[in-house]
Amino acid sequence: MTKILVTGAGAVLGQGIIQSLRRSSLRPEILAADPNPLSAGLFWADKAFRVPFADDAAFMDRIRSILSDERPDAVLVGTDVELAAFSQHRAALEAEFGTRVIVSRPEVIAIADDKYRTFQFLDGEGLHPPLSALPEDPAALEELIDAVGFPLIVKPRVGARSVGVSLVNDRDALAQALDGRTGLLVQECVGTANVEYTASVLVFDGEPRASIVLRRDLRDGNTYRAYSEPSEALNAFTMRAGRTLQPYGPANFQFRTDRDGRPRVFEINARFSGTTPLRAMLGFNEVEMCLRRVLGGEEIRQPAIREATILRFQSEILVTQDDLERVL
């Protein structure tokens, strides 16, 4: 039986990966790991482990211990904060334990992690991201205002789920949004909320193999409604973006279209995304496709994608003391 370790079992991403594995035809044994023993994803797995936080010096030692004892066929990283560590140690972990770690190169992780680096990369590759400037460069900020005017978006260079993001409509609001804060990016506001998309692509051996684009509605920074609609042009753009970024396996691009219908990417995730289980429901199980490619050498072919609307909702899980005691 195939055995898979999923980290970040307390995160939307990690839980989505576990859901996608359960939906797949692989029927794997699932190991789950998280720092918090009350993470719901731990209780969806066949075996659960506590690990230190990714910035703890003991984190990688604990991962090595789990890999040594369990010998999973693959490791799937289910939280942003662990990507850099797994990327740095990927080659050593694969050589030592015979597992496959699906994570991109450190350079790709760095591009996705810092939204100004994301802008620089996309701009340099001619992919037309929203114009952006750093507040500590007054000349560039003035140039941005002159070029696009207001409203503008102020956001952290490193962050997720719209935390710390604000829409400013004039210079006073901009000054207030910047006051006393560091590590920010000021960005052109493109399009409207009803033309916002989340798109994913799978890239192996330098070539994009399959893609999917979903229009979405956001709540608290997460997709809570998704719409599968045919768009040859947006999928072609997603494939081009994947070929340009060169991830190992999955990458996620978030964008709005402008008044000319051009996709303008404002965020890259060099990993599976929080909408991974939604895509699996539509016939695009990227977790299964990646594992079949990496573990079995199977070619990835573009699957047929159902046209549908997906509504997200909260759910609950009851955990007993016996359940808690099974978390190692």
Q: What is the mean pLDDT of each run of 10 residues along the chain (328 residues)?
A: 97 97 97 98 98 97 98 98 98 98 98 97 98 97 97 92 86 95 96 96 98 95 93 97 98 97 97 97 98 98 97 95 95
Question: Which of 49, 13, 11, 12 minimizes the C-alpha distance to 30?
Answer: 49
- Three-class secondary structure of residue 81 per DSSP: helix
What does DSSP assign to residue 44? G
Query: What's the confidence (pLDDT) of residue 150?
Result: 96
Query: What's the confidence (pLDDT) of residue 162?
Result: 67
Check if the beta carbon of residue 8 is closer than 8 Å to that of residue 35: no
Query: What's the confidence (pLDDT) of residue 290?
Result: 98
In the beta sheet, which residues pair with residue 228? 214
Whether cis (ω within 30° of 0) applies to the bond prior to 130 is: no
Which CATH code is given to the segment(s) 193-311?
Answer: 3.30.470.20
Query: What's the confidence (pLDDT) of residue 159?
Result: 79
Which CATH code is given to the segment(s) 131-188?
Answer: 3.30.1490.20
Domain 3-103+315-325 is of which CATH architecture? 3-Layer(aba) Sandwich (3.40)
Q: Which residues contact 162 (CB under 8 A, 6 or more apart)?
A: 218, 220, 221
Q: Which ranges constitute the DSSP H helices of 78-195?
A: 83-97, 106-113, 115-124, 138-148, 171-178
Query: What's the confidence (pLDDT) of residue 58?
Result: 98
Q: Which residues contact 315 (CB under 8 A, 6 or more apart)?
A: none
Check if the beta carbon of residue 56 is closer than 8 Å to that of residue 62: no
Question: Which of 260, 310, 258 minimizes the C-alpha distance to 284?
Answer: 310
Query: What's the confidence (pLDDT) of residue 161?
Result: 66
Read off the pTM. 0.96
Domain ranges of the chain: 3-103+315-325, 131-188, 193-311
> Which residue type occupies 36?
N
Query: What's the confidence (pLDDT) of residue 220?
Result: 84
